[in-house]
Amino acid sequence: MSSVNTVGPRHAFAGHPLRFHHVEPCSHTSALQSLRNVLLSGLPRNDGWPSLDHKVLPFRMGRPLACSASSSELARPDPSPPQWRLGWLSPSYLREFPADLFVYLGSGLPEDSGTIYWAVDATHGGELRFGSGDGFNFVELRTLMVATDWGNDRSMGEMALAGHAKALLEWHESSRFCGQCGAQTVTIDVGRRKQCTSDSCKKKIYPRVDPVIVLLVVDKRNDRALLSRRSRFVPRMWSCLAGFIEPGESLEEAVRRETWEVTGIEVGQVIYHSSQPWPVGPGSMPCQLMVGFFAHAKSLDIQVNKEALEDAQWHSREEVEKALTFAEYEKAQRTAAEKVSQMCRGVEKGTSFSTDFNVESGELAPMFIPGPFAIAHHLISSWVNQGASI
């Protein structure tokens, strides 16, 4: 398997800006003990360890707390769409939750090098009053994804942090019992591991990641790419093929098998592009890892598996390039950012991903592709822009 050098925007949910590991003397144990002391007394530790500050990102029903950024934080001139920020809170707002429910995210943001960052599921908390139009609200991560300014490093970093936290918290919720013996599990290693409570088992459980292949099949001889539609897609949207990796299967084998199963096309050379964490998939899969590939077609006759796809067609480079330029992704981002701002101000009570992702202009396009937050977008745009090198 070869690879292609891709230089461009980094993927949504990638680029976690925190350091996972402390340097001594500030260990994970001391960080947790410091947090526990703050939760119990509201005061920092005073036992010879360095003073630690803590910030916590609460979630409710899988939604992170968000707020509108102040104008002083924005590096963009007016008029510009509103920017969102994560709603980091002091632990003093979350003292009803035991320390063992807090998940360690890391430390070392440039602006807060001495701060420890945590996440907690506050769904069942009765005392947390944020999120009712006071400048804060719990917002779907998919909505924040569309609302993110893809050219803003801080916004991209905060989205990656929110995705990382959501994946860990949902893994905690889905791993309350041991899959080997059925006993309850407990949190260890500041929320980054779990362990079975049965003395005869004691199995250690690690966060789950589900790998998914995302592939663009290319017909090099005729300068075409194979795009597909699923029944759940919005009208006129086309994208790459995708599928899960089977046990005992290599990535390259998965690419060839998936293409054959759903389109009847045989592929030869497989070229790695990039990968992307995806914490906004099905609830049963807390974090998928999207692994992107190009695949060169050896056969061209399409036989669509209707149980998997609605349709699959070859598209010329000109058709795909037009779809890329026609879609108004920046307009979709601005619209979603306005909605997040309204939600935080209590004006908009709810929003949906489908209404945020409205990338079409007044004239209906024959086709368009997913936005820049999806690895499929970068696969397709790389093929359009790099020409015969792929």
Do 335 and 307 share a structural domain?
yes
Planar angle of CA 93, 171, 189, nearest 5 degrees: 70
pLDDT at 49: 41
Gap between the Cα atoms of 382 and 377, Å rounded? 8
Do 171 and 52 share a structural domain?
yes
pLDDT band at 80 (very low <50, low <70, confident <90, very high): low
Do 262 and 158 share a structural domain?
no
- 345 in helix, strand or coil? helix
Do 336 and 215 share a structural domain?
yes
Do 138 and 95 share a structural domain?
yes
Gap between the terminal Cα atoms of the chain: 13
Mean pLDDT over 263-284 rounds to: 93
Do 200 and 168 share a structural domain?
no
Do 224 and 196 share a structural domain?
no
β-strands 288-297, 267-278 pairing: antiparallel
Say if residue 295's pLDDT is above 50.
yes
In this structure, what CATH number is given to the domain that contains residue 110? 3.90.79
Q: Which of 207, 226, 248 is the last residue of a domain?
A: 207
Is 155 exposed, middle or buried, given 0-12, 13-18 or 19+ CB atoms closer than 10 A? buried
The torsion defined by the Cα of 152, 155, 161 and 164, in degrees rounded to 10, comes to -80
pLDDT band at 34 (very low <50, low <70, confident <90, very high): confident
pLDDT at 127: 62
- 290 in helix, strand or coil? strand
Q: Which of 117, 151, 175 is the last residue of a domain?
A: 175
Do 161 and 122 share a structural domain?
yes
Assess if residue 20 is contained within a domain.
Answer: no
Do 170 and 47 share a structural domain?
yes
CA 349 to chain centre: 23
Q: Which of 155, 190, 207 is the last residue of a domain?
A: 207
Helix axes 317-326, 375-386, angle to 10 degrees: 130
**pLDDT by residue (tens digit) across 54-71?**
899 999 999 999 998 754
Query: Are the beta carbons of 237 and 367 closer than 8 angstroms?
Result: yes
pLDDT at 114: 75
The residue with tokens 């108004």 is 328
**pLDDT by residue (tens digit) across 114-150?**
788 999 999 987 666 665 557 899 999 999 999 998 8
Give how far Cα 233 sits from Cα of 107, 148, 228, 237, 240, Å.
Answer: 39, 22, 10, 6, 12
pLDDT at 48: 42
Q: Which residue segment(s) compose the domain that 214 sits in?
A: 210-341+366-386
In this structure, what CATH number is given to the domain that contains residue 245? 3.90.79.10
Assess if residue 19 is contained within a domain.
Answer: no
Q: Which of 150-159, 315-324, 363-372 comes out lowest in average pLDDT?
A: 363-372
Assess if residue 9 is contained within a domain.
Answer: no
Do 52 and 76 share a structural domain?
yes
Share of the chain above pLDDT 70, in %: 81
Gap between the Cα atoms of 161 and 169, Å rounded? 12
Assess if residue 199 is contained within a domain.
Answer: yes
Q: Which two tokens stand for residue 376?
A: 């499929």
Most confident among 1-15, 303-317, 334-348 (mean pLDDT):
303-317
Assess if residue 256 is contained within a domain.
Answer: yes
Do 287 and 269 share a structural domain?
yes
Total domains in the chain come to: 3
Do 61 and 45 share a structural domain?
yes
pLDDT at 27: 72
Supply the mean pLDDT for the chain.
85
Q: Which two tokens stand for residue 337?
A: 């950012």
Assess if residue 335 is contained within a domain.
Answer: yes
Query: Are the beta carbons of 107 and 18 closer than 8 angstroms?
Result: yes
Q: Which two tokens stand for residue 169?
A: 């918290």
pLDDT band at 92 (very low <50, low <70, confident <90, very high): confident
Assess if residue 155 is contained within a domain.
Answer: yes
pLDDT at 42: 62
